[in-house]
Amino acid sequence: MNFTPTEDQLAVQRTAHEFAQNEVLPKAAEIDREHRHPAELVKRMAELGFLGIAVPDQYGGAGLDNVSYALAMEEISRACASTGVIMSVNNSLVCDPIYRFGTEQQKQEWLAPLASGKLLGCFALSEPEAGSDAAAQKTVAEKQSDGSWVINGTKNWITNGPVADACVLFTMNDKSLGHKGITAFILPMKTKGVRTGPPDDKLGIRGSKSSQIYLDEVRLPADAVLGEVGGGFRVAMSTLDGGRIGIAAQALGIARAALEDALAYAQQRRTMGKPIIQHQAISFKLADMATEIDAARLLIHRAAWLKDNKLPYGKEAAMAKLFASDVANRAAREAIQIFGGNGYVTEFPVERHFRDAKITEIYEGTSEIQRLVIAGYLAKGG
């Protein structure tokens, strides 16, 4: 077992840390307060190669690995979870499936500009009545006699939706086949008939723009299909396996922010004649937070390492997300407790961590769904 990061991984971590500390963190409170999409930070992440970290350089990516991706996600989400999820969606949910399932032409046309950050992507699987039950797709794709497609439907909660240039879109093309009737497409967001709703007004990650996407008689050519006709569910599920590594790393970043902020506060805040860190009740909270954060990181790096080594990693990614999102929520809650009254007001950052942490238990599969996935592997003897 080797826990030593490579030189390349350390270099990514260092770059991400400096970027996060110097450029992202100073803006995080304002991004949250103003519900602002941080376009200038997205541009900087493109320059730093953070929008296609594990994509080979021949397709515009940084040509690195998933451990590097997890390290960068942790650093950036430690500073701003909104900026973290924008990065995660583009890497995990857009570049990754186009790299794995796209034709050479699709890779040249879409992957290269998305991975280099010239374009930004979104991933549209969820619908008003298809969240956890992702196979219940109601967006319909009808094949025309000339091989092209006409698509109608509504997608829900689509992160980056209002600011994206391209979308990995899931549709039902044959309801009688159940999940085998689902087909994925690459959809240019400027296509006639595509409209986004107003940005969702959210509890946390307020700088991440998400919205509904309405598809009204949207026409796509035959070569817009991603993967095989009827193979969309496999594209979606295998993509979410990888996405969970990114969201777990986002949760880890939020947990670390909660710990680091609480630790600094506990060292300077005094009650009963001493810094509160010298009260065992407070120091034990910090000890638990630090221990759980380390355990989450190990689970995440194991899943990323398995993916990098082309070994099965679905169960491990689900475990990493389940655990890290739980840790983030607990750490943020305890950080507020350590800050006392100051934890409850927007002047200090921990209430933002508390609000940001919650989403990591919901998107890319709720915690209940992660347990279903893990239990499914256990039942199969995996």
Ligand X SMILES: Cc1cc2nc3c(=O)[nH]c(=O)nc-3n(C[C@H](O)[C@H](O)[C@H](O)COP(=O)(O)OP(=O)(O)OC[C@H]3O[C@@H](n4cnc5c(N)ncnc54)[C@H](O)[C@@H]3O)c2cc1C
Query: What is the Cβ-side half-sphere exposure of residue 66, based on CA atoms within 13 angstroms?
Result: 26
With CB under 6 A as the contact rule, the residue among 302, 363, 370, 374 that binds ligand X is: 363
Kindly state the tokens that stand for 350. 């921990």
Give residue 189's Cα distance to chain centre: 20
CB-based contact 97:237 (threshold 8 Å): no
Exposed e or buried b per residue across 275-299, where buried means at least 16 C-beta atoms within 10 angstroms of its C-beta: ebbeeeebbebbeebeebbeebbeb
Nearer residue to ligand X within complex by CB, 216 or 368: 368
In whole angstroms, the minimum distance from the beta carbon of 365 to ligand X comes to: 6
Q: Does 366 bind ligand X (CB under 6 A)?
A: yes
Q: How far is it, in rounded angstroms, from Cα 151 to Cα 142?
A: 6
Nearer residue to ligand X within complex by CB, 152 or 366: 366
Q: How far is it, in rounded angstroms, from Cα 315 to Cα 312?
A: 8
Q: How far is it, in rounded angstroms, from Cα 167 to Cα 142?
A: 18
Query: Residue 19: CB partners within 8 Å, gap ≥ 6?
Result: 44, 45, 48, 75, 76
207: left (phi over 0), alpha (psi -120 to 50) or beta: alpha
Q: Tell me the window of 5-13, 108-116, 290-298, 357-365 that interacts with ligand X (CB under 6 A).
A: 357-365
In whole angstroms, the minimum distance from the beta carbon of 271 to ligand X comes to: 38
Kindly state the tokens that stand for 371. 């347990």
Exposed e or buried b per residue across 27-37, where buried means at least 16 C-beta atoms within 10 angstroms of its C-beta: bbeebbeebeb
In whole angstroms, the minimum distance from the beta carbon of 157 to ligand X comes to: 3
H or E element, residue 214: strand 210-220
Q: Does 369 bind ligand X (CB under 6 A)?
A: yes
In whole angstroms, the minimum distance from the beta carbon of 11 to ligand X comes to: 30
- Binding mask 142-181 vs ligand X (x if CB under 6 A, - otherwise)? ---------------xxx----------------------
Nearer residue to ligand X within complex by CB, 297 or 321: 321
Could you count the other beta carbons within 10 Å of the beta carbon of residue 100? 13
Nearer residue to ligand X within complex by CB, 249 or 259: 249
Number of residues that bind ligand X (CB under 6 A): 23
Q: How far is it, in rounded angstroms, from Cα 358 to Cα 336?
A: 14
Nearer residue to ligand X within complex by CB, 120 or 369: 369
Q: Does 233 bind ligand X (CB under 6 A)?
A: no
Interacting residues with ligand X between 109 and 148 (CB under 6 A): 122-126, 131-133
What is the C-alpha R_g of the chain? 21
Give the closest residue to 38 by CA, choosing from 82, 77, 72.
82
With CB under 6 A as the contact rule, the residue among 107, 202, 307, 355 that binds ligand X is: 202
Interacting residues with ligand X between 53 and 112 (CB under 6 A): 89
In whole angstroms, the minimum distance from the beta carbon of 346 to ligand X comes to: 20
The closest residue (CB) to ligand X is 131
In whole angstroms, the minimum distance from the beta carbon of 368 to ligand X comes to: 3
Q: Does 265 bind ligand X (CB under 6 A)?
A: no
Q: How far is it, in rounded angstroms, from Cα 145 to Cα 242?
A: 36
Q: Does 368 bind ligand X (CB under 6 A)?
A: yes
Nearer residue to ligand X within complex by CB, 131 or 188: 131
Angle among Cα 290, 293, 295 to the nearest 5 degrees reads 110
Catalytic sites, residue numbers: 364
In whole angstroms, the minimum distance from the beta carbon of 170 to ligand X comes to: 8
Q: Strand 182-188 relative to strand 225-226: parallel, antiparallel, unpaired?
A: antiparallel
Nearer residue to ligand X within complex by CB, 12 or 124: 124
Nearer residue to ligand X within complex by CB, 207 or 343: 207
In whole angstroms, the minimum distance from the beta carbon of 264 to ligand X comes to: 29
Q: Which residues bind ligand X (CB under 6 A)?
A: 89, 122-126, 131-133, 157-159, 202, 210, 359, 362-366, 368-369, 372
